[in-house]
Amino acid sequence: MNGLGNEIVIVDLRRAPSPIAAAEARAAARQEPYDQLMALYPARAGKDASIRIYNNDGSEAGACGNGMRCVAALMSAETGKAALDFETPAGLVSCWRAGEGLYTVDMGRPRLRWDEIPLEQEFADTRTIELEIGPRGAPVLHSPSVVSMGNPHAIFWVEDPTAYDLAKFGPLLENHPMFPERANITLAATPTRDRIVIRTWERGAGLTKACGSAACAAAVAAARLRRTGRKVTVSLPGGDLAIEWRESDDHVLMTGPVEYEHKGRFDAALLADAAVPSNPAA
C-alpha cells in the first residue's frame, strides 16, 4: 500500500507471530522496495492489533503516520469497523475512517522537552536549537525546531524546500551527534498561515515522498513559532495531509488518503539469504 506515495509493506503475522530480524527487514526491501514495513501481531487488551514498524535499513521506528493510515484501511475493510485502536512502540494509536478513502490517525501529544526527543545536550527552548551545517559564519541550514512524534524530528525553516540538496545534507544531519537516536530531517516553508510545504529525509529510509510524522512535527513546530495556526494543510511531494494540533488535549490528528497496490508473499530463499530463520508471511 502507499500513503501519498510513502511505500508501505504490511506483513500479517497475527496467526504466526514471530519477530522480524533486521536482516530480514533489509532482505524484504530488496524484493519489495518500501519506506516502512508494518508488522501486525495479535491484539492485546482488547485492541485491534499490535504493530512493530521497520525502516528499510532494518532499524525499528517508533511511529509512522502514513503506515498507520494504511493499516487502518486494511483492518477496517477486514472487520467493517470504522474506528480501530492499535498498540505501537510509541503507545496506543487510534484511527478512524474520515470519508471516502480518507483516514485519520490520532498521533498523540508531541514531546517537546529536550530529553524526551531526545537531544544530546539540554535546551530550555526547543522551538529552535543551536545547530548548523555548512561553512562557519555562512551555514547552509541552521536553527532547527525539534519535536518528537514518537520518533525524533528536526525541522529547518527555509524559503524553498526544493532549493536544497537534501540527499546530501540529510544523512549528515540524521546522524549528527546532537541526535543520539538519529533524527528525521525536514525542510519546511510556511507560504501562508494555514499551509506548510515540506520535504523530508526519513531516518532509516532516506528521501521520501511523504512522512506523516514529519508533517505532524512540522505543524506543531510552526504553531509553536506562530508561523501558522494549529490547523494546517501540509503539502508533501506525494500530496497533502490535513493536520490539527487539537487544543483540548494537545493531540495531533492527521488525515489523508491511502492506496492499495497489491498482495504477495516474500520469497523464502531471499529471507534464507539473510542468514536468519524465514517468516513466510502474506
Residue 279 lies in a domain: no
Same domain, 223 and 157: yes
Question: Do 231 and 24 contact (CB within 8 A), yes or no?
Answer: no
Express each pLDDT in 55-98 by its tens digit.
Answer: 999 999 988 999 999 999 999 999 999 999 999 988 899 999 99
Catalytic residue positions?
A: 64, 211
pLDDT at 179: 98
Q: pLDDT at residue 281 above 70?
A: no
pLDDT at 275: 57
Residue 42 lies in a domain: yes
Q: pLDDT at residue 142 above 50?
A: yes
User: What kind and span of H or E run contains 184?
Assistant: strand 184-192
Residue 58 lies in a domain: yes
Q: pLDDT at residue 278 above 60?
A: no
First to last CA, the chain: 13
Same domain, 171 and 80: no
Residue 245 CA from chain centroid, whole number: 16
In sequence order, what are the residues at sequence separation of 6 or more whose Cβ sits closer than 8 angstroms to the Cβ of residue 204? 55, 56, 57, 58, 59, 61, 182
pLDDT at 105: 97
Same domain, 237 and 202: yes
pTM of the model: 0.91
Same domain, 265 and 241: no
Same domain, 162 and 229: yes
Same domain, 88 and 21: yes
Same domain, 138 and 241: yes
pLDDT at 218: 98
Q: What is the CATH number of the domain that holds 46?
A: 3.10.310.10
Domain count for the chain, please give it. 2
Same domain, 18 and 79: yes
Same domain, 9 and 97: yes
Same domain, 51 and 98: yes
Express each pLDDT in 143-191 by its tens digit.
Answer: 999 999 999 999 999 999 999 999 999 999 999 999 999 999 999 999 9
| Per-chain mean pLDDT for the chain | 93
Residue 56 lies in a domain: yes
Express each pLDDT in 229-243 by its tens digit.
Answer: 999 999 999 999 999
Q: pLDDT at residue 280 above 50?
A: no
pLDDT at 269: 77
Residue 159 lies in a domain: yes
Q: pLDDT at residue 206 above 60?
A: yes
Residue 146 lies in a domain: yes
Cell of 230: 494549529
Same domain, 33 and 79: yes
Residue 24 lies in a domain: yes
pLDDT at 267: 84
Residue 277 lies in a domain: no
Same domain, 181 and 230: yes
Range of the domain at 27: 2-108+259-272
Average pLDDT over residues 17-35: 92
Cell of 107: 498521533
